[in-house]
Amino acid sequence: MKTKLQVMKFGGTSVGDAACIARAARIVAEAARENAVVAVVSAMRGVTNRLVDTAHRAGSGDAAAGATLTDGLRQQHHDALAALVPSEKRSAVACRIDEILAEGRRLFDGTALLRELTARALDTISSLGERLCAPIFAAALSELGVRGAAIEATELILTDSYHGGAEPLMDATRERCEARLRPLLQEDVVPVATGFIGATRDGTLTTLGRGGSDYSATILGAALTADEVIIWTDVDGVLTADPRLVPDARTIPEISYREAAELAYFGAKVLHPKTLRAVMPAGIPVWIRNSFTPTRTGTKISQQGRSIGGGVKALTAIRDVALISIGGPGIVGVPDVVGRTFSTTAELRANVLLISQSSSQNDICFIVAAADAQRTLEALRREFAQDLSHEVVDHITVDPKIAIVAVVGENMRGTRGVAGRTFAAMGRDNVNIIAIAQGSSETNISFVVEDTAMKQALLSAHCEFDLGGEKCEVGVGDGI
Ligand code: ADP
Ligand code: ASP
Ligand code: MG
């Protein structure tokens, strides 16, 4: 009888090449001695980016790009397979790689011929990386004496039909996972599911959004009522800030769902923003661990987290955003300007990350993902066309050169002085603040700065709240 049920997800870097896949497979094989394990794998590092980029090129008529990419991917995946599995045992997986790539090639050719990339085709093309990786990973497991079975998550995760950001339908997903995965687990097989993808009721492939394999893992964890979900990545857990920007960022041993969700929402790439949604109702803990240093315990994300008595726990920042502002002295008189603004963004499904309105109502500004900025601007100009022509609204503008910085911690509202210290630190280090929003969620204070000042803002706040653990010097940043 196995002790627990674990879902283990390996991100792109953790399956980046044959050596990484071997390391990840060893982690699974080790765990599978004691526990029932479901593995979830991403595409090999960089593959999804290349697929998406080539899909867009095909959409603009480039017929050669798809052929070049599929040739490259064939080589890369056969090489990885060859390094992991002896030749006499490779043929089934090798055939599968070729089948998937032949399908990919047809998709690129069709897209180039039509000169049109539909959202549906983009999803199917983007899914190829995960579909190529899972059979290789399963074969690597079998080499370690653990029976692995590659499974495409189109068989497991049922979603709505919103391509590029589909939502799971949990009841149906639960039924499918019970039917497809439970029997394998009972026979001591480790299912190796593709991350990132699902399918609609009629079988059309969907994706959960870029970086969505984290979400796949928690969806499967919730569907099977797993004891824990472990997200294996390339850093030692959730850190006090992005280590690429703040070199002395430290691992946070334990953090609450709310804090981690807030960090993810404001750009901490280590977790897809929706990851925790799936496991919160059942209280399943999620661990973030480093597949390159598996002896370290990483970060535990749980309902309670570990209280540090309120105050700042971590920082995050998000750069791919744009500030949209609608203003003019006459907008006080424009009927329902706020309602109309946000019904427009809702219709576009544009994600609004931060809102700030001056109390005089002369100006409303809000932030959306950079990818949504242009169409949001156009839709607002249509919505307020009359008001613009009568000059009651005198501008609707977009500023893409900004970043949001968020200071995150449980119960910050109850901790006096966090806002004061944050903004004093910014002032001291010459970081100009464009807008501020203190969430009523109590878990974050976020503010907008010029994108060139983002790194300095993080360094200053990290230092101010002593998140690196050793007293730092003020104004050490080189970001401005
Ligand atoms: P994976 O391929 O495993 O999904 P990602 O690249 O999506 O990995 O996420 C891991 C990266 O997230 C890290 O390499 C790190 O640079 C970045 N990151 C950003 N903010 C944080 C943070 N607060 N803690 C840990 N990592 C972070
Ligand atoms: N491979 C997908 C991506 O790059 C999903 C993931 O890695 O989480 O977006
Ligand atoms: Mg990721």
Last residue of one domain, picked from the residues 234, 255, 273: 234
Q: What's the Rg (C-alpha) of the chain?
A: 24
Nearest ligand to the CA of 196 is: 2
Number of the ligand 2 atom closest to the C-alpha atom of 213: 8
| pLDDT tens-place string over residues 298-349 | 999 999 887 776 689 999 999 999 999 998 877 777 778 889 999 999 999 8
One domain, residues 84 and 228: yes
One domain, residues 230 and 335: no
One domain, residues 49 and 176: yes
pLDDT at residue 476, as a whole number: 44
Number of the ligand 1 atom closest to the C-alpha atom of 13: 2
Range of the domain at 377: 314-464
**Which amino acid, 460?**
S
Residue 262's Cβ-side half-sphere holds a number of Cα atoms within 13 Å equal to 28
Task: Report the C-alpha gap between 468 and 478 in whole angstroms.
Answer: 17
| Three-class SS of the chain | CCCCEEEEEECCHHHCCHHHHHHHHHHHHHHHCCCEEEEEECCCCCHHHHHHHHHHHHHCCCCHHHHHHHHHHHHHHHHHHHHHCCHHHCHHHHHHHHHHHHHHHHHHHHHHHHCCCCHHHHHHHHCHHHHHHHHHHHHHHHHCCCCEEEECHHHCCEECCCCCCCCECHHHHHHHHHHHCHHHHHCCCEEEEECCEEECCCCCEEECCCCCHHHHHHHHHHHCCCCEEEEEECCCCCECCCCCCCCCCCECCEEEHHHHHHHHHCCCCCCCCCHHHCCCCCCCCEEEEECCCCCCCCEEEECCCCCCCCCCCEEEEEEEEEEEEEECHHHHHCCCHHHHHHHHHHHCCCCEEEEEECCCCCEEEEEEEHHHHHHHHHHHHHHCHHHHHCCCCCEEEEEEEEEEEEEECCCCCCCCCHHHHHHHHHHHCCCCEEEEEECCCCCEEEEEEEHHHHHHHHHHHHHHCCCCCCCCCCCCCCCC
Q: What is the CATH number of the domain that holds 400?
A: 3.30.2130.10
One domain, residues 351 and 206: no
Tally of domains in the chain: 2
pLDDT tens-place values along the chain, 480 residues long: 788 999 999 999 999 999 999 999 999 999 999 999 999 999 999 999 999 999 999 999 999 999 999 999 999 999 999 999 999 999 999 999 999 999 999 999 999 999 999 999 999 999 999 999 999 999 999 999 999 999 999 999 999 999 999 999 999 999 999 999 999 999 999 999 999 999 999 999 999 999 999 999 999 999 999 999 999 999 999 999 999 999 999 999 999 999 999 999 999 999 999 999 999 999 999 999 999 999 999 999 999 887 776 689 999 999 999 999 998 877 777 778 889 999 999 999 888 988 887 766 678 899 999 989 999 999 999 999 988 888 888 889 999 999 999 999 987 777 778 889 999 999 999 999 998 887 656 788 999 999 999 999 999 999 999 999 877 765 544 433
Number of the ligand 2 atom closest to the C-alpha atom of 214: 8
One domain, residues 65 and 159: yes
Residue 326 near residue 337 (C-beta atoms within 8 A): yes
Please report whether residue 76 resides in a domain: yes
Last residue of one domain, picked from the residues 209, 234, 259: 234
16 lines ligand 2 (CB under 6 A): no
Last residue of one domain, picked from the residues 234, 253, 273: 234
Please report whether residue 212 resides in a domain: yes
Structure tokens belonging to residue 151: 């499974």
Number of the ligand 2 atom closest to the C-alpha atom of 211: 8
Please report whether residue 445 resides in a domain: yes
Residue 241 near residue 314 (C-beta atoms within 8 A): yes
- Which residue is listed with tokens 């019904």? 343
Please report whether residue 12 resides in a domain: yes
Beta-strand relationship, 363-369 and 197-199 = unpaired
d(CA 471, ligand 3 centre) in Å: 31
Residue 212 near residue 277 (C-beta atoms within 8 A): no
One domain, residues 323 and 229: no
Question: Dihedral, CA atoms, 380, 384, 385, 387, nearest 10 degrees?
Answer: -150
Please report whether residue 43 resides in a domain: yes
Nearest ligand to the CA of 217 is: 2
129 lines ligand 2 (CB under 6 A): yes
268 lines ligand 1 (CB under 6 A): yes
Please report whether residue 473 resides in a domain: no
Task: Report the C-alpha gap between 233 and 286 in whole angstroms.
Answer: 13
One domain, residues 88 and 229: yes
Residue 315 near residue 405 (C-beta atoms within 8 A): yes
Please report whether residue 282 resides in a domain: no
One domain, residues 213 and 64: yes
73 lines ligand 1 (CB under 6 A): no
Task: Report the C-alpha gap between 55 and 46 in whole angstroms.
Answer: 14
**Which amino acid, 8?**
M
| pLDDT tens-place string over residues 110-139 | 999 999 999 999 999 999 999 999 999 999
Please report whether residue 267 resides in a domain: no
pLDDT at residue 309, as a whole number: 66
One domain, residues 212 and 322: no
Q: Going by CA atoms, what residue is nearest to atom 5 of ligand 2? A: 211
Q: What is the CATH number of the domain that holds 150?
A: 3.40.1160.10
d(CA 208, ligand 2 centre) in Å: 9
